[in-house]
Amino acid sequence: MRAYVQQGQKGDPNYLNLERIAYTFWERGYEMLRFDYPEFCEGALDRGLLTYPDETIVAGGVGTVRAAIKRANRSLPELQELPDCLKPWIGRKYWTSTLDEVRQPFEKAEQTQPVHVKPLYEHKRFTGTVFKEFRDLIPSAAVDGATEVLVQEVVEFVTEWRAYIFRGHIKTVANYQGDPLAFPDPTRMQAALDAFESCPVACSMDWGITSAGETLLVEVNDGYALGNYGVDMYVYTAMIEARWREIMGLEDNGIGVLL
């Protein structure tokens, strides 16, 4: 098995994570090859992606992995950040729109409620942010108004946690923001996972706790796009591999079943 792991740049927030991914694949006995983005764009991974897909894994930044999926002639996964089947655990209104439509009331100084806005598909277009007034539009001013966005009512969370989901089980729950002593309700987390239709082999469910103590789903993240906030590296790399194979339409090789 050959693992292609993107070479990060020192100072990049993802640098250490990529180094740990590379080391763990090597430690697991895989042929481990590093690549940088210019090499990728020149086709350095194409032979593995197109000729030996069953022996190839790609790990890297979200944009790089999405580009690798396209170069392998596979469809990008359409995992919703807030799946409709999980509405009982979301606890707030949410809808899809375009950036232009969301901007209009703020540009016209109309009375409107604050909303949280983030790209629906193109996550690198701008960072998710809260629109409260006109000046909040400035960071996304250069973004095409036709860009589709996910819009949500604003909810203040005192803490946020990531539940790593692998093969239908919660493997680790890690705090990534806020009060580390305020733990999400395990019963709600498990009930939501049980109701999660078409759950991929590897993903995360992020949970927030409100000041009133309510546990709400923040979002779902795909297994190819997860930062590591504390999950065991063997489990983490197995999640990357299993989800990559699932997206590529390859037979499940059972990786991680015994972890």
188-210: per-residue pLDDT in tens? 999 999 999 999 999 999 999 99
- What's residue 152's pLDDT? 96
pLDDT in tens, 125-156: 888 999 999 999 998 999 999 999 999 999 99
pLDDT in tens, 96-105: 999 999 999 9
pLDDT band at 109 (very low <50, low <70, confident <90, very high): confident
**Mean pLDDT, all residues of the chain:** 95
pLDDT band at 235 (very low <50, low <70, confident <90, very high): very high
pLDDT at 238 over 80: yes
Across residues 163-179, what is the average pLDDT?
A: 98
pLDDT band at 94 (very low <50, low <70, confident <90, very high): very high
pLDDT at 122 over 80: no
User: In 3-state terms, the chain is what percent helix, strand and coil (to 5)?
Assistant: 35, 25, 40
- What's residue 121's pLDDT? 81
pLDDT in tens, 36-52: 999 999 999 999 999 99
pLDDT at 216 over 90: yes
Is 24 strand, coil or helix?
helix
Strand pairing class (129-131; 148-153): unpaired
Note the pTM of the prediction, 2 decimals. 0.93
DSSP string, 60-101: S-HHHHHHHHHHTT-PPP---SS-GGGHHHH-S-EEEEEHHH
- What's residue 252's pLDDT? 97
Is 6 strand, coil or helix?
strand
Least confident of 68-77, 106-115, 243-252: 106-115
Across residues 16-30, what is the average pLDDT?
A: 98
pLDDT at 10 over 80: yes
Across residues 230-234, what is the average pLDDT?
A: 97
The beta strands (E) that lie in 102-258 are given as 115-119, 129-131, 148-153, 157-166, 169-178, 202-210, 215-222
